[in-house]
């Protein structure tokens, strides 16, 4: 029997890598999945993700350059590893 995790809050799904960079700086990446050659990123806490994206779009999000570069490296690594398969 598979170990199933009980999900208590809605997840946030997106395939936009640039927004995934932004979310990764502030939210927890739950998982990612490939569908028809497209990587979908799954973040915990949909409400928090909505707040972070809203702040980003309104130029109110403050994030250090190191945190941003770490997020970019991680998300790009997921995409590039998936393309190799």
For 10-27, how does the pLDDT look when each residue is reduced to its tens digit (9 = 90+)?
Answer: 999 999 999 999 999 999
Residue 68: inside a domain, yes or no?
yes
pTM of the model: 0.84
User: At residue 67, does pLDDT exceed 90?
Assistant: yes
d(C-alpha 34, C-alpha 27), whole Å: 20
Residue 6: inside a domain, yes or no?
no
Residue 4: inside a domain, yes or no?
no
Please list, in sequence order, all residues whose beta carbon lies within 8 angstroms of the beta carbon of residue 26, skipping any fewer than 6 positions away.
Answer: 48, 52, 61, 63
Residue 79: inside a domain, yes or no?
yes
- Overall number of domains in the chain: 1
Residue 17: inside a domain, yes or no?
yes
Residue 25: inside a domain, yes or no?
yes
Residue 1: inside a domain, yes or no?
no
């Amino acid at each position: 029997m598979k170990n199933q995790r009980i999900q208590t809050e809605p997840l946030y799904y997106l395939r936009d890598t640039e927004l995934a960079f932004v979310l990764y700086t502030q939210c927890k990446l739950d998982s990612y999945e490939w569908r028809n050659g497209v990587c979908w990123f799954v973040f915990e806490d949909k409400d928090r993700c909505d707040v972070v994206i809203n702040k980003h779009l309104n130029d109110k999000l403050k994030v250090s350059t190191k945190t941003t570069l770490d997020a970019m490296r991680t998300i790009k690594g997921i995409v590039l590893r998936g393309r190799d398969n």
